[in-house]
Amino acid sequence: METPPSTILETKVTTLQGVGPARAALFSALGLHTIGDLLRHLPFRHEFEHAEEAVATATLFVPAEGANLAVRGEIVAVRVTPGRKARVEATLSDGSGTVRLVFFNAPWMKSKFHPGLRGIAEGKAKSRAGYLEMSNPKWTALASGSETNTASEPASREARLRPVYAASESISSALIEQTIASVLVPACAAIQDPLPSLYRTQHALPPLGDAYRAFHAPRDLDELAAARRRLAYDELLALQLAVAIRRRLREEGGASVLPTSARIEKEIFARFPFKLTKEQLRAFSEIASDLGKSTPMNRLLQGDVGAGKTAVALCAMLLAKSHGAQSAIMAPTELLAEQHFRSITKFLEGTSVRCALITGSLTAGQRTALRKQVKAGEIDILIGTHALLTDALEFQHLALAIIDEQHRFGVAQRAVLRSKSGVDRTPHMLVMTATPIPRTLALSVYGDLDVSVIRSKPLDRQKIHTRLLPSARANEAYQFVRTRIEQGEQAFIVVPAVEASDLGLKATDTHLAFLQAGALHGLRLANLHGQMKPEDRDATMTRFLRHELDALIATVVIEVGVDVPNATVMVVEHAERFGLAQLHQLRGRVGRGTKGGVAILIGDATTDDGHARLEAIRSTDDGFKIAELDLTIRGPGEFFGARQSGLPPLVVADLTRDLPLLELARRDAFAWIERSPRLADPAEALLKRKIIHLYGEAFGLGDVA
């Protein structure tokens, strides 16, 4: 049974004590209008706050190696030691004794202190020859002793976990905390829990209201952990329910059934001048098994650059052709589409398979003619760019759509393809990517995808040697580039920026001029970056392919898979600024030919972590290991276009840590949708509204609403 809507959660914040119109406006700026908004404004972390101690007591128990401490008192002296390592010292007295507060490299701290000022210092205290010293403690000023009496100060603190909220310049985390605390208990009591109690007991999760209460004001770590688990589970469950509904809708769409057979496969494999590797064969058999079903395939084919994904994709397209059905393959750029067209037509020489290329550069007449052929079923494999989706193109029977290196392929495009397919069935879909997706992401952001993986590369691929160089030795890298170019090879030089800026980063234009005037004088150089018009970019890339250029000074636009077998050297400037997966992708560009590639990463890692990352990329060539590492270091938000996916971010759940919880939520969600495909039960209304609100658009759940 649904309980009536709780009014306290919809009540405006202005009704709260101490929140007038001015303050309410500040809350509004943070998106906090009602008490419910406040409650959903969860702290992004919690800090441990120590109980205040009397200095005399603390002096007795703080050991030589130090202990955390909070002390309240009055500043009695301030001193600055000048010099390069400026140090500010303030002496704090609480009547029972004194503590010395020492601030290193923070000369501005001096202005924060004056004798008579009262406040709380917290941090690690060490015992030094009979007195206590705190280095760089956290300082919270209260008031000057001369101005107020201490009676108006907040009461002495107990040890506790303090919530830390996203705040603004005008509203502090502490004020948000105070405001939330003033309504926390009644507001939490009004929360309806959409989760059936069966799940709660099974997974030992606290009720939702309790979880909110404990997350805002935890009594201890256990309570906080339980609250976090509940809130994270809810987030993941909502996401997985959306995924499960999406999958359900897709399955109801129906697809062409394209079974394979030994005879068909023999013919398919005969197209290649090489033997497919074991992993290519396994990936194909997974795809073929999907194609044999009436449920539309939705599969991701992952394989490092050069793993041979295109061959596997072609096998799938040939399987479709053996049933008289059409396939389309979509590449992100014209250049890549042309490259696919060239290699695919080569494999198909001497067969009756008809292959065509559709790009923006066709004339209107050519386009019309091609459209006719496609509609009449005279083309078996159509290769193109996004033009495939936008063009007024219609197939006779499109059964399989393949997307290459496209991270942002979504539900909307699928609907477009279905409408063009020429039959009332959803095309099978295969997405190829060189960026390995860690399991957590495959199950969440891409939770609707099955995954096939090609882990190894065909044997005759060349190894890429990776070297690290500090920026002071960059010249050695360019001398090496020069030598290779003089031997008839080509190079990529990657910089992080297009235009020079205050950040002091190397940029394409200035770096080209710099190299032209110096190390690479007299060589044929050109820029390539994302701010160029696509035609200009393609033109430059084509000149490079034809070896009319020796080196490209580029941004990461070259990351996506163009094959230039003669390019054997890559230099990456400011390598420490790039993601690991990105560096790995980049260097894959110079391993495409028969000669060994060399990648020189120039960078000055300033932290141990930064150094470890560069060392990791130097020492391993395993794209999967690198992707996992990247995910732990950078977090999923940055990863693999997760941000561009259009999904709202997870607030409490953390994909780098919550895999077990994610799997639990996934199992529950899929079982739930099995039982209740449209969440049509009135008891599910609240949950359904939440899912449509969060994921309706991104997952195209309109039919369900």
Sites of contact with Mg ion (CB under 5 A): 561
Stretch that binds ligand ADP, among 3-11, 251-259, 303-311, 519-527 (CB under 6 A): 303-311
List the single partner that 104 binds among ligand ADP, Mg ion, none, CB under 5 to 8 Å by kind.
none
Position among 307, 403, 631, 650 found at the interface with ligand ADP (CB under 6 A): 307
Q: Which amino acid is it at 214? A: A
Q: Which of 670, 671, 627 is nearest to 447 (CA)?
A: 670
Give yes or no for residue 280 binding ligand ADP (CB under 6 A).
yes
List the single partner that 458 binds among Mg ion, ligand ADP, none, CB under 5 to 8 Å by kind.
ligand ADP
| Binding string, residues 541-580; x marks residues near ligand ADP by CB under 6 A | --------------------x-------------------
Residue appearing with tokens 């502490």: 174
List the single partner that 44 binds among Mg ion, ligand ADP, none, CB under 5 to 8 Å by kind.
none
Give yes or no for residue 306 binding ligand ADP (CB under 6 A).
yes
The DSSP line for 226-249 is HHHHHHHHHHHHHHHHHHHHHHHH
From the centroid of its chain, how far is CA 536?
A: 30
Give yes or no for residue 99 binding ligand ADP (CB under 6 A).
no
Closest residue to Mg ion, judged by C-beta, is 561
List the single partner that 180 binds among Mg ion, ligand ADP, none, CB under 5 to 8 Å by kind.
none
Residue appearing with tokens 């039960």: 681
| Binding string, residues 503-542; x marks residues near ligand ADP by CB under 6 A | ----------------------------------------
Q: What is the DSSP letter of 649?
A: P
Distance in Å, CB of 459 to ligand ADP, minimum: 7
Quote the Cα angle for 322-325-326, to 5°: 115
| Binding string, residues 121-160; x marks residues near ligand ADP by CB under 6 A | ----------------------------------------
By DSSP bridging, strand 67-81 and strand 87-93 are antiparallel
Name which of 59 and 333 has its Cβ closer to Mg ion: 333
Stretch that binds ligand ADP, among 73-81, 272-280, 328-336, 482-490 (CB under 6 A): 272-280
Give yes or no for residue 603 binding ligand ADP (CB under 6 A).
no
Position among 277, 327, 385, 435 found at the interface with ligand ADP (CB under 6 A): 277
| Contact between 143 and 118 (Cβ < 8 Å) | yes
Q: What is the DSSP letter of 507?
A: B
Residue appearing with tokens 């309109």: 702
**Residue 644 and residue 135: Cα distance in Å, rounded?**
43
Give yes or no for residue 590 binding ligand ADP (CB under 6 A).
no
Distance in Å, CB of 310 to ligand ADP, minimum: 3
Give yes or no for residue 597 binding ligand ADP (CB under 6 A).
no
Name which of 281 and 468 has its Cβ closer to ligand ADP: 281
Name which of 343 and 542 has its Cβ closer to Mg ion: 343
What is the 3-state composition of the chain as percent helix, strand, coil, each rounded to the nearest 5?
45, 20, 40
Name which of 217 and 558 has its Cβ closer to Mg ion: 558
Closest residue to ligand ADP, judged by C-beta, is 308
Q: What is the DSSP letter of 123?
A: E
Q: 554: which residues sit within 8 A by CB, 6+ positions away?
A: 492, 493, 494, 495, 508, 527, 528, 529
**Residue 406 and residue 386: Cα distance in Å, rounded?**
10
Distance in Å, CB of 561 to Mg ion, minimum: 4
How many residues in the shown chain lie near ligand ADP by CB under 6 A?
16
Query: What are 657's two structure tokens?
Result: 């840590």
Residue appearing with tokens 């209740």: 676
**Residue 14 region, left (φ>0) first, then alpha (ψ -120 to 50), else beta?**
alpha
Distance in Å, CB of 201 to Mg ion, minimum: 50
Distance in Å, CB of 277 to ligand ADP, minimum: 5
**Residue 435 and residue 408: Cα distance in Å, rounded?**
13
List the single partner that 306 binds among Mg ion, ligand ADP, none, CB under 5 to 8 Å by kind.
ligand ADP
Distance in Å, CB of 313 to ligand ADP, minimum: 8
Q: 396: which residues sit within 8 A by CB, 6+ positions away?
A: 326, 374, 375, 376, 377, 422
Cβ burial 107-145 (10 Å sphere, 16+ → b, else e) = eebbebbeeebbbbbbbebbbeeeebbbeebebeebeeb
C-alpha neighbours within 13 Å on the C-beta side of residue 525: 25
Name which of 182 and 345 has its Cβ closer to Mg ion: 345
List the single partner that 650 binds among ligand ADP, Mg ion, none, CB under 5 to 8 Å by kind.
none
List the single partner that 70 binds among Mg ion, ligand ADP, none, CB under 5 to 8 Å by kind.
none
Name which of 434 and 665 has its Cβ closer to ligand ADP: 434
| Contact between 310 and 280 (Cβ < 8 Å) | no
Q: Which of 34, 6, 40 is nearest to 190 (CA)?
A: 6
**Residue 9 and residue 38: Cα distance in Å, rounded?**
9
Name which of 125 and 432 has its Cβ closer to Mg ion: 432
Stretch that binds ligand ADP, among 73-81, 217-225, 281-289, 299-307 (CB under 6 A): 299-307
Distance in Å, CB of 528 to Mg ion, minimum: 19
Q: Which of residues 217-246 bind ligand ADP (CB under 6 A)?
A: none
Distance in Å, CB of 457 to ligand ADP, minimum: 8
Cβ burial 496-529 (10 Å sphere, 16+ → b, else e) = bbbeeeeeebbbbeebbeebeeebbeebebbbbb
Tell me the sheet residues that pair with 382: 328, 356
Q: Which of residues 408-467 bind ligand ADP (CB under 6 A)?
A: 434, 458, 460
Give yes or no for residue 623 binding ligand ADP (CB under 6 A).
no
| Contact between 415 and 355 (Cβ < 8 Å) | no
Name which of 458 and 646 has its Cβ closer to ligand ADP: 458
List the single partner that 276 binds among Mg ion, ligand ADP, none, CB under 5 to 8 Å by kind.
ligand ADP
Name which of 309 and 418 has its Cβ closer to Mg ion: 309
**Residue 377 and residue 391: Cα distance in Å, rounded?**
17
Give yes or no for residue 278 binding ligand ADP (CB under 6 A).
no
Give yes or no for residue 311 binding ligand ADP (CB under 6 A).
yes
Name which of 69 and 311 has its Cβ closer to ligand ADP: 311
Give me the residues that bind ligand ADP (CB under 6 A), please: 274, 276-277, 280, 303, 305-311, 434, 458, 460, 561
